[in-house]
Amino acid sequence: KIFGRKYIVLNYVTVDTKHRGGGYSYRMMNCLLSVLNNDIEGVLTNYSRRINKKPMKKFFECLGGFKNELGYLEIKNPKNKTEMPC
């Protein structure tokens, strides 16, 4: 829990070299987001500890994520959003 809210913390995602570029990371994250319970605020990863910061930030932004006030990359639980996604 962070500030009394529940999050899933993502440390890393590994995709074998031969499968990179096939959209597997994106699909894995979409699957994770689709099964989150309503009491989960979203998914976080520690941006400052990422080795591949630029691609990871772009990846999170593609999924509607953002860098929050604590410096973490965050994707809100889509089930808890009131606005329609793009």
- Measured at the CA of 44, the angle between CA 17 and CA 47, to 5 degrees, comes to 70
Q: How confident is the model at residue 53 (pLDDT cuts 50, 70, 90)?
A: confident
Q: For 32-44, write each residue's pLDDT tens digit.
A: 999 999 999 999 9
d(C-alpha 25, C-alpha 59), whole Å? 9
Q: For 12-39, write each residue's pLDDT tens digit.
A: 778 888 988 888 888 988 999 999 999 9
Count of alpha carbons within 13 angstroms of residue 40, beta-carbon side: 18
pLDDT at 72 over 80: yes
pLDDT at 7: 93
pLDDT at 10: 86
pLDDT at 8: 92
The per-residue pLDDT of the chain, averaged, comes to: 84
